[in-house]
């Protein structure tokens, strides 16, 4: 596609339910990132994928959060037993990543999924 897409755009769920957020990166982008942004706040790093592997999961706030990426493309972020403090916009970004070049590439962000836990 032309850009990074995320679905759903909005999700309202009850406390305690599980949710799954989806990210479709730009074709050919091997690096994929998940961030969380609370209202008026900065970007909180969650997890980074290089291909299907996740060399950095350090930002996942608790074991209720997990993410996977299959086929080097689509990624899903799953939040189990949602809590009210999970309410935020979840942003996905993708970039090129040529290993070994030392180059850093710009991240292209999706429109985000606004999660509201009631």
Partner 1 sequence: GQQVMQIPQYQHVQEGEDFTTYCNSSTTLSNIQWYKQRPGGHPVFLIQLVKSGEVKKQKRLTFQFGEAKKNSSLHITATQTTDVGTYFCAGRNGGYQKVTFGTGTKLQVIP
Q: Which residues bind partner 1 (CB under 8 A)?
A: 31, 33, 35, 40, 42-43, 45, 48, 50, 55-56, 58, 91, 93, 95, 97, 99, 102, 104-112
Tokens of 113: 């999924």
Compare residues 9 and 78 and give the one whose CB is closer to partner 1. Answer: 9
Q: Are 52 and 34 in contact (CB under 8 A)?
A: no
CA–CA distance, 88 with 81 (Å, rounded to integer): 15
Q: Least separation, in Å, of the C-beta of 27 and partner 1?
A: 17
> Please, what is the minimum distance in Å from the beta carbon of residue 34 to partner 1?
11
Residue 52: CB minimum distance to partner 1, A: 15
Nearest by Cα to 91 from 54, 42, 58? 42
Token readout for 57 is 């999961």
């Amino acid at each position: 596609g032309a850009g990074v897409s995320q679905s759903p755009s909005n999700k309202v769920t009850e406390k305690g339910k599980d949710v799954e957020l989806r990210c479709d990166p730009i074709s050919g982008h091997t690096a994929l990132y998940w961030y969380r942004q609370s209202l008026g706040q900065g970007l909180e790093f969650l997890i980074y994928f290089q291909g299907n592997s996740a060399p950095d999961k350090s930002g996942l706030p608790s074991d209720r959060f997990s993410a996977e990426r299959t086929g080097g493309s689509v990624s899903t972020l799953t939040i189990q037993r949602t809590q009210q403090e999970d309410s935020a916009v979840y942003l996905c970004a993708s970039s090129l990543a040529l290993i070994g070049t030392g180059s850093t590439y710009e991240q292209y962000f999706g429109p985000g999924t606004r999660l509201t836990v009631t």
